[in-house]
Amino acid sequence: MTHALSHLNFHSLPSRVLRGNPMGNNPERTVAVLNTPHKGKSGNPPLVCYVLDGYFGNGTSMLSDPGPVGRSFAQELLDYQQRGLLPPTVFVFVDASTRIGGSQYINSESCGRFEDHIFDELIPFVEKQYEVRTDYRLITGHSSGGYGSLCLPLRRPGVFQASLISAADSCFEHSLVPCFAAAASRINSSGGVDAFLDAFFAKSRPERCSQSEFSTIMILAMASCYSPQLGESSIHAELPFNTHTLERNESVWQRWRAHDPVNFSDSELQKLKELDYLHFDVGQDDEFSAQFGHRRICARLKRLEVAHMETEFKGGHSGTRFRYQMRFERLGAHLRSLGMEW
């Protein structure tokens, strides 16, 4: 067996576009790269796949050691190649984290220009450091990473050729609105956004937070992405509700809705036609209602004649890493149908 640890490289990438962001997120990003020991028969360079972490993740968090009886995600990715499910592929684990969780992989006046960082800094850096194919790039991710794997190919069509989307954040009225009451209560009882954050990060292990605390900081992170407003608390964002009465701030809520994939325009969704391969996968009992978002999006893609694959399975939002094998296996079959050999 080829051991993944010997093929993991970690780089420090100073970002120009993230420098000076109002939230104070570190502009220096850690880039974890799983290089491939496998060589293709055709002599072509390996493919490259950008892996987008979920909320509260920073890319390297996907590479945790499972202990003596498990297999790491990196090990599984190498095993897929060893078994011939995928051609030789270099995997890049993207760090788009912020001090309150995540950036949704988009540009924001609050937390930073993460979309530009990926396109204009990360991809050129990887392609300079590693000999990879530049004519067929892959992207994949789960949850917030699924959101990024859907949105980034829309932002700059033609950069990516295949996208594997897992439980993408969507259908905000069912995935995010249910968290508003808990967030409003926590923020109000804490004495405001900044007071809540001060208390949250004063904990010795803030990652071991309660469900209501998690809902609160997640909503604050989403606000920094979807409704940035300079000078509005330390996160420089407006909330779509009044924290005292829970009354909806409709103008802010409409800004959030514009970022919900179920509300993307037909012209936006048609840009996905630039992809050679598009796969949506989600659990039928996803606790964040991603299954309903996927169904709505895929129904529209079918009407717009955007080629895609849609799969569902019995399961929820967490514990879904096992689905990567099926996704990569189907992608591999598609690549073979194109005449790619390995």
> Would 156 be classed as within a structural domain?
yes
Report the C-alpha gap between 77 and 331 in whole angstroms. Answer: 13
pLDDT attached to residue 41? 77
Give the separation between CA 98 and CA 295, rounded to whole angstroms: 30
Cα dist from 167 to 63, 177, 181, 242, 283, whole Å:
20, 17, 23, 29, 7
> Residue 79: left if φ>0, alpha if ψ -120 to 50, beta else—which one?
alpha
Domain co-membership, 220 together with 315: no
* Domain encompassing residue 101: 4-170+264-337
Per-residue pLDDT at 30 exceeds 70: yes
CA distances from residue 305 to 128, 292, 302 in whole angstroms, order as listed: 36, 20, 5
pLDDT, residue 38, reads 84
Comparing 61-75, 118-132, 274-288, 324-338, which segment has the lowest mean pLDDT?
61-75
Question: Which of 241, 258, 275 lies at the terminal end of a domain, its last residue?
Answer: 258
Tally of domains within the chain: 2
- The mean predicted confidence, pLDDT, of the chain is 96
Asked if the model's pLDDT at residue 226 lies above 80, the reply is yes
Are both 41 and 112 inside the same structural domain? Answer: yes
Among 207, 168, 178, residue whose Cα is nearest residue 286: 168
Q: Residue 244 — φ and ψ, nearest 5°? A: -90, -40
Assess if residue 141 is contained within a domain. yes
Can you read off the two tokens belonging to residue 119?
């396109």
Q: What's the confidence (pLDDT) of residue 68?
A: 74
Residue 283, SS3 per DSSP: strand
User: Region 275-281: what's the mean pLDDT?
Assistant: 98
Start-to-end C-alpha separation, the chain: 19
Does pLDDT of 158 surpass 60? yes
pLDDT at 1: 56
Q: What is the CATH number of the domain that holds 329?
A: 3.40.50.1820
Question: Is 66 within a domain?
Answer: yes
Distance CA 71, CA 3 (A): 10
Look at residues 258, 292, 308 and tell me which one is the last residue of a structural domain: 258
